[in-house]
């Protein structure tokens, strides 16, 4: 869960905002976002006292899974819902359902 204490956020947010601005200036190239995320994960593993170990790999994989699920829940899902309302469902399989009995 990404909801860390507010007092912790500025030290993490500042370099992220700098990186995002640099990526935006480069034209939001997908490969550069992929590189930035990959580099962050590699450096995270390399910074651990034990280095590259099974536990570190699993920790990163778990974090990526949680990030993906949270992004889907709070960003992708609401966006898809909005677009479905604007443009209509693909078929009856994703049409709104009346749940009243």
Where do we find the tokens 């007092």? 7
Write out pLDDT tens, residues 66-99.
999 999 999 999 999 999 999 998 888 888 765 4
Q: C-alpha distances in angstroms, 23 versus 26, 32, 36?
A: 5, 7, 9
Q: Is the pLDDT of residue 14 over 70?
A: yes
Which residue ranges make up each domain of the chain? 9-84
Q: What is the DSSP code string of 58-99?
A: HHHHHHHHHHHHHHIIIIIHHHHHHHHHHH--SSGGGS----
Q: Is the pLDDT of residue 101 over 50?
A: no
Write out pLDDT tens, residues 47-63.
999 989 999 999 999 99
Taking the C-alpha atoms of residue 35 and residue 33, their distance in angstroms, rounded to an integer, is 5
Query: Which DSSP category does 52 fall into?
Result: S
Tell me the average pLDDT across 10-33: 92
């Amino acid at each position: 869960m990404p909801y860390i204490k507010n007092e912790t956020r500025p030290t993490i947010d500042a370099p992220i905002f700098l990186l995002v601005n640099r990526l935006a200036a480069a034209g939001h190239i997908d490969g550069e976002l992929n590189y930035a995320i990959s580099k962050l994960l590699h450096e995270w593993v390399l910074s651990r006292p034990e280095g590259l170990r099974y536990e570190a790999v699993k920790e990163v994989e778990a974090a990526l899974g949680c990030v993906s699920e949270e992004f889907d829940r709070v960003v992708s899902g609401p966006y898809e819902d909005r677009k479905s309302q604007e443009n209509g469902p693909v078929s009856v399989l994703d049409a709104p359902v009346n749940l009243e009995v």
